[in-house]
Structure 1
Amino acid sequence: MNRIRTAEEEQEYRRKQQHETRLLNETLKGRWDQVLPGLIPGLDLAVERGHQHHITCPFHGGVNDFRIFQDFADTGGAICSCGKWTDGWALLMHARRCTFFEAKKMLVEALGGRFDASNLPVRYVKVKDPDEVARKDAFNKKIVQQIWGDALPLTDDRSAPVRRWFYNRQLHEVRGPLNVLRCHPALEYFTERQVTHTGPAMVAMMSDINGRTCGLHRTWITNDGRKANVESVRRLTSSISTHPIEGSAVKFDTEPHPVLMIGEGIESSLAARAIAGYPTWSALNQNQMTKVEVPDYVQAVIVWADRDHNGVGQTAAAELVARLRKAGKKAVCVIPPFAPAPGEKTVDWNDVLRSLGLEEARKLPIVLQVLEPLRASLN
């Protein structure tokens, strides 16, 4: 029979555990990409491809669904439609279905039974060649300029596929010129550097806090406004080192206003815009949602979250709200009133609009509870 530890022994045990965990974190920072692939089957491909590329999820098998974070070597974080893991501990515990202490044991064993990196291969950090970085930036800028230059304003007759795309999603009250959205009549889709599809696409411009273009988001569609038959309907262009995508957004409205609304996907954000009527941005995905940079003139932010079955969308929205409040802004999160249907992963605000209709969506208690006090404070 195990003897129960005294209070002093328990305190000493906890101190030891905390000390070991702290040593592990210090050792693994900058080395998660060396250690985790040996513990999580399939992760090696994600590390090899890098943070800008999606791979088939090693957990649920979603094609082009999983990617590591840009700072993966330091944090071990990754994201997928099936979850978001902010650090290597969370990723390992999810992958191996284990407890924190079991994950700790695996990590120590991977380090050769030590709490330092003396048993790991010597790591030679490759210094980026400035000329190579400049060449890649020039190439990526050219791609962005070419795609955007070939795309057409939504008012053009040839942009009918995007207008039908909106119509099919009951986005009938899309106001204004929406200069950040265009329709490319015949955008090439690449698979392993080979063109495997050419067709219409909705192209969205992403810009940072200073208004600089950071990249383009592309959604391949059909002529009748439905999802194209391609592996990954939505893709981002490669980033430019001087204009990182982190913190940027698709900004439907840029005129200064004390209220700003931020949604996740383009269609969900446009639905929120139709429901509430305030200036709106789209963060595009959960990871971007947490990092959007908001102008100083904005006093209050309404975050229109996705309601995911695994809670990822809600968590991302909550992180943004917490960061904005810490910065001294009023911020609140609005979550769809119903959960995903069986077999579905998420419900966004476009789903709410399509299910209830615009007028009923405007009358939702959760919407009125946020909008009515806000409108009163602005009058």
Structure 2
Amino acid sequence: MRESKIDKVLALVQSNGGWSAVYSAYPGLSDAVSKTESRGGSPQVPCPKSGDGRTKFRLYPDWSMTGGGYHNDVGSMPGGIDVISFMENCSKAEALDKIIGICGGDLTSVSKEYVQSVRALPKGPSEDEIAKRVSKLEKLFNKAIPAAQDDSLHIANYLKSRGLKTDYRTLPFTLGFASELWWGDGASKPVKLCGLLGSMTDVNGERVTIHRTFLDNNGHKANVSKPKMLMPPPRYIGGCSIKIDEPVSNGTDTMIGLCEGIETALAIREATGCPMWSCYSDSLLEMVKIPDHVNVVIIFADKDVSGAGIEKAEALANRLRKKGKIVDVYLPVEDIPSGEKSIDWLDVYVLHGTSSFPFKLPLDMSVNTGVTL
């Protein structure tokens, strides 16, 4: 059987000290490796690429064999090739060449027999683990109801608490509500709450995971350390998004708007009428996949102290423009408040209403929010 380039690269990695040797080329990943080896288990560390956060990334328990890890904003990276692709912001094919370079640049240094022996090693989550994740997702999905049908008014109260005016009864079925939603971070005692759900799907509309916003009994954001969490996905979520609306067409162009958070997307919908997809984080925003038939993309970036929001938005815009799409990127003009790390379009909406937004779609193209502005 002929060995693929991937097989050869994985064998090269093993012959050069394994993934720990590869990851030593990246300070952030090296930190994750050292803490995993010194403490045991899979401790969480800051984002290995940006250094942001304190608990953004962890290596899987079997990382030494697979190289796999999990990023809170990106999701599962089943193998080392996925991790290097993320670190280098490149394709998996380009990541292979990066790994070859780190390992000495010579694929001929490993024998055919060694390549075949490494091929048999596990390369991602086990089938049992994948099945468990799928089962948990399906269980939650089947118990949830559309957010538009939440007669308990938790969703209505949550929208109001965030400064939104959207009539919850107009919310698309992409958003759901769970009256019983267990919160836990692996360290604290689990707590039963309720929550707003967002279905995260790939470019083909297949559900990959569910985003949860945990709410208290009053419909306010729950007072827990991580009130917003993605469920562990059974497969890689790069390219996925929470597709709140369908793209709209004026007969010539088909348009969609993009941003990071769900609440930010809802604010933009209210202010402009623009159909929106939420990408959850700047990393996933940069990687989102857009269908071929959508030719106009409006990106509403967050303004961060780090500059990551506009950096990732511009990277996405450049990629989409190369594919022939018309792309506009909008950044809040307001200054970031003192002591804060960022300002987004939800903040702009709460502060200034619609006056600071760049456009308003005609009524016949606008999504229905139940709000007249």
Mark yes or no: TM-score above 0.5: yes
**Which residue does the alignment assign to 2:203?**
209
In the TM superposition, what whole-angstrom CA distance separates every residue of 1:92-134 from its partner, at most 9, and x where no partner exists?
A: xxxxxxxxxxxxxxxxxx99xx99999xxxx96872279x733
- Which of 120, 124, 133 aligns to 2:126? It is 133
The answer to whether the aligner puts 1:64 opposite 2:25 as a matched pair is no
The answer to whether the aligner puts 1:252 opposite 2:239 as a matched pair is no
**Which residue does the alignment assign to 1:272?**
268
Kindly indicate whether the alpha-carbon contact (under 8 Å) linking 1:303 and 1:317 is maintained by their aligned counterparts in 2. Answer: yes
Of 331-340 and 251-260, the range deviating more from structure 2: 251-260
In 2: Cα distance, 1:264 partner to 1:43 partner: 29
Amino acid in the other structure paired with 2:335:
A
The answer to whether the aligner puts 1:234 opposite 2:228 as a matched pair is yes
Residues 342 and 177 of structure 1: CA distance in aligned 2, closer, same or farther (over 3 Å) = closer
Kindly indicate whether the alpha-carbon contact (under 8 Å) linking 2:203 and 2:289 is maintained by their aligned counterparts in 1. Answer: yes
Residues 71 and 215 of structure 1: CA distance in aligned 2, closer, same or farther (over 3 Å) = closer
Kindly indicate whether the alpha-carbon contact (under 8 Å) linking 2:24 and 2:30 is maintained by their aligned counterparts in 1. Answer: no
In 1: Cα distance, 2:287 partner to 2:312 partner: 9
Deviation at 1:54, TM superposition (A): 4.9
In 1: Cα distance, 2:79 partner to 2:147 partner: 38
Amino acid in the other structure paired with 2:209:
G
Contiguous gaps of at least 5 residues in structure 2: 1-15, 59-70, 90-101, 110-116, 366-373
Kindly indicate whether the alpha-carbon contact (under 8 Å) linking 2:274 and 2:361 is maintained by their aligned counterparts in 1. Answer: no
The answer to whether the aligner puts 1:360 opposite 2:355 as a matched pair is yes
Residues 28 and 189 of structure 1: CA distance in aligned 2, closer, same or farther (over 3 Å) = same
The answer to whether the aligner puts 1:189 opposite 2:180 as a matched pair is no
In the TM superposition, what whole-angstrom CA distance separates every residue of 1:315-366 from its partner, at most 9, and x where no partner exists?
A: 1111111111011100010001113212111111100001112x3234xxxx
Q: What fraction of aligned residue pairs are identical, expressed as a percent? A: 25
Q: Who wins on radius of gyration, i.e. which is larger?
A: 1
Flag the structure with more relative contact order, 1 or 2, with Cα contacts below 8 A and sequence separation at least 6.
2
Amino acid in the other structure paired with 2:55:
N
Deviation at 1:75, TM superposition (A): 8.3
Amino acid in the other structure paired with 2:143:
D
Amino acid in the other structure paired with 1:360:
S
Kindly indicate whether the alpha-carbon contact (under 8 Å) linking 1:148 and 1:203 is maintained by their aligned counterparts in 2. Answer: no
Residues 314 and 39 of structure 1: CA distance in aligned 2, closer, same or farther (over 3 Å) = closer
Residues 149 and 33 of structure 1: CA distance in aligned 2, closer, same or farther (over 3 Å) = same
Residues 200 and 38 of structure 1: CA distance in aligned 2, closer, same or farther (over 3 Å) = closer
In the TM superposition, what whole-angstrom CA distance separates every residue of 1:286-331 from its partner, at most 9, and x where no partner exists?
A: 1110111111221210001011010011111111111110111000
Amino acid in the other structure paired with 1:32:
V
Residues 158 and 199 of structure 1: CA distance in aligned 2, closer, same or farther (over 3 Å) = farther
In 2: Cα distance, 1:350 partner to 1:210 partner: 28
Q: How many residues align?
A: 306
Kindly indicate whether the alpha-carbon contact (under 8 Å) linking 1:158 and 1:185 is maintained by their aligned counterparts in 2. Answer: no
Kindly indicate whether the alpha-carbon contact (under 8 Å) linking 2:269 and 2:275 is maintained by their aligned counterparts in 1. Answer: yes
- Which of 22, 29, 32 aligns to 2:22? It is 32
Residues 252 and 76 of structure 1: CA distance in aligned 2, closer, same or farther (over 3 Å) = closer
Of 340-349 and 222-231, the range deviating more from structure 2: 222-231
Amino acid in the other structure paired with 1:191:
D
Deviation at 1:201, TM superposition (A): 1.4
Deviation at 1:64, TM superposition (A): 2.6
In the TM superposition, what whole-angstrom CA distance separates every residue of 1:267-299 from its partner, at most 9, and x where no partner exists?
A: 111111112212210011111101111112212
- Which of 319, 329, 333 aligns to 2:329? It is 333
The answer to whether the aligner puts 1:160 opposite 2:156 as a matched pair is no
SS at match of 1:44: helix
SS at match of 2:264: helix
Alignment of 1:3-42 (within 5 A): 31-36=21-26, 41=31
Kindly indicate whether the alpha-carbon contact (under 8 Å) linking 2:177 and 2:194 is maintained by their aligned counterparts in 1. Answer: yes
Kindly indicate whether the alpha-carbon contact (under 8 Å) linking 1:305 and 1:335 is maintained by their aligned counterparts in 2. Answer: yes
**Which residue does the alignment assign to 2:138?**
145
In 1: Cα distance, 2:346 partner to 2:245 partner: 18
TM-align CA RMSD? 4.0
The answer to whether the aligner puts 1:313 opposite 2:306 as a matched pair is no
Contiguous gaps of at least 5 residues in structure 1: 1-26, 80-84, 88-109
Deviation at 1:196, TM superposition (A): 2.2
In 2: Cα distance, 1:39 partner to 1:279 partner: 38
Residues 28 and 295 of structure 1: CA distance in aligned 2, closer, same or farther (over 3 Å) = farther
In 2: Cα distance, 1:356 partner to 1:277 partner: 17
**Which residue does the alignment assign to 1:300?**
296
Amino acid in the other structure paired with 1:153:
P
In the TM superposition, what whole-angstrom CA distance separates every residue of 1:66-98 from its partner, at most 9, and x where no partner exists?
A: 56573884587699xxxxx647xxxxxxxxxxx
Residues 342 and 125 of structure 1: CA distance in aligned 2, closer, same or farther (over 3 Å) = farther
Kindly indicate whether the alpha-carbon contact (under 8 Å) linking 1:29 and 1:75 is maintained by their aligned counterparts in 2. Answer: no
Deviation at 1:250, TM superposition (A): 0.5
**Which residue does the alignment assign to 1:107?**
none
Deviation at 1:42, TM superposition (A): 5.5
**Which residue does the alignment assign to 2:34?**
44
